[in-house]
Amino acid sequence: MLMSFCRFFYILYIAFKYRLDELVLSSIRHPWAVRLLRIVRFGRAPKLPRGERLRLALESLGPVFVKFGQVLSTRRDLIPLDVAEELALLQDRVPPFDSQVSAKIVEQALGAPTNKLFKHFEVDPVASASIAQVHFAVLHNGREVAVKVLRPGMREVIDKDLALMRTMARLVEKTGPDGRRLRPREVVAEFEKYLHDELDLIREASNCSQLRRNFVETPERVELLMVPEVHWDYCAHNVFTMDRMRGIPVNQIQRLRDAGVDLKQVARKGVEIFFTQVFADGFFHADMHPGNIRISDDPDTFGRYIALDFGIVGSLSEFDKNYLAQNFLAFFRRDYRRVAQLHIESGWVPADTREEELEGAVRAVCEPHFDRPLSQISLGQVLLRLFQTSRRFNVEIQPQLVLLQKTLLNVEGMGRDLDPELDLWDTAKPYLEKWMYQRIGPQGLKQQLKKEAGQWAQIMPQLPRLVFDNLSRPDTTPVVLQELRQLRVAQEQNNRLMTVLCALLAVIVGLVLWAVKVL
């Protein structure tokens, strides 16, 4: 608890050091709060633009806050353009740590000097992010690779921030009007799980390998996404070595145009990649900010997406996938009654919720937006309004879908940059309809039978014996009924005994009170 309070006051110190109070004064409506901020503020504001001050503050506060800034940088419809452009520097330009320390980490993790491990190792990092930094290298066989090295001391820093977040979550749950419905402690626990996953680079390498297999081994997906190959002999819990990938960052629009990339096609392809990962595989890259996405400019792979940084991935159960797909299709078809039914069937709202009321609330939020192009639609604003409306119906926040919501917002932000006229809904609808047909149509039945064939091959030969054993087994129904009758008699006896004991206790208490009164 003491650690959490110390961290809290340090956050306040950084906020006032960079005069972030000026960013919020204009949005505070309560006069007493404004007066309080003006009393406690100290020092002069640095002569820096507001976006740069915010970026420097987030960098000072560590990786959790840098992650927050990365997400904000993709939401140019929700924050001022100058702030978004400055926060975009957090995606791959966080100040690096000492290069000699990085080389030592590699040598200790892999058990040999860098000049023996690699034909060439670039000491200066090519990119630096909140959790790790990347060095280019060349293997002795001539293969060009990228070596990712974890920042030292990261676990201690993250644990301090997470302790504070857990404390705040408990406070919100106990005092907030929507505390229990929002399930803040479960959301923080989910966020903690993914942050700790990022600290294990072996896990990240495994995520990279799985995502590569999902796309490389499926012929119709090869043209969609490129994922680097993992070099396992050069990996450890704090070192991750993969193929070096060359491409143009997805947010450098002018470079993409100059290279001849079809931006409209790339924008549509990004939506398809997202929905393929979510609904076909239930395994998706959940950190798709522009710093982690490239577009290949190599003649052999021109125009393909390149994915980097696999520390945060999301996974969905079959129930989640089916539920989400049906919800998306219902939204696309403007079938708001079906949306209401799905929420009730899934248990996300109380069973006694009236369908027509929930349907009307969802319609009021979504209907005004559907006929507009993406340039005029903010999915973030739609989700915010849905969230506000859901209070009336006690909708519970599902922690397992927090990453999916974040990733969808990132996809929308990238789509807006590439093609302001892209209609996210119209682009995704045909793909989802095709996917649903494959799931519930003849092809889906065939796939399920093929999937279960191995189990049936073991069970089928045993069926005659199992049926015979079951039919020849003596009927145990009379025995079971007799045991139930004995249990009922015993329970009745216990009930009578409890009644007598309660009566005796009442008499004793009455006598004691009478004696006290007489004395």
How open is the CA angle 213-196-272, to the nearest 5 degrees? 35
Contact 347, 394 (CB under 8 A): no
Provide the phi-psi class of 372: left if phi over 0, else alpha when psi is between -120 and 50, else beta: beta
Strands 248-249 and 283-285: unpaired
Contact 327, 339 (CB under 8 A): yes
Contact 349, 395 (CB under 8 A): yes
- Which runs of E-coded beta strand occur in 272-341? 283-285, 293-295, 305-307, 313-315
Single out the catalytic residue among 77, 92, 161, 287: 287
All residues at 6 or more sequence positions from 127 whose CB lies less than 8 Å from its CB, including other chains: 92, 93, 133, 134, 291
DSSP, residue by residue, 458-501: HHGGGHHHHHHHHHHSPP-HHHHHHHHHHHHHHHHHHHHHHHHH
3-state SS, residue 517: helix
Distance of CA 198 to the CA centre of its chain: 13
Tell me how far apart the alpha carbons of residues 320 and 56 are, in angstroms, rounded to a whole number: 39
Number of Cβ within 10 Å of residue 518's Cβ equals: 6
Q: Is 161 a catalytic residue?
A: no
Query: CA separation (Å) from 338 to 88, 328, 356, 395?
Result: 39, 10, 10, 16
**Minimal CA–CA distance to 352: which of 364, 360, 343, 339?**
343
Pinpoint the alpha helices (H) of 118-234.
Answer: 154-175, 179-182, 184-198, 201-216
CA atoms within a 13 Å half-sphere pointing along the CA-CB vector of 105: 25
Residues in the chain, total = 519
Strands 305-307 and 293-295: antiparallel
Tell me how far apart the alpha carbons of residues 167 and 160 are, in angstroms, rounded to a whole number: 11
Tell me how far apart the alpha carbons of residues 189 and 288 are, in angstroms, rounded to a whole number: 21
Query: CA separation (Å) from 166 to 72, 189, 241, 312, 461?
Result: 22, 8, 34, 20, 54
Query: What is the phi/psi pair of residue 243, to 5°?
Result: -60, 145
Q: Which residues are designated catalytic?
A: 287
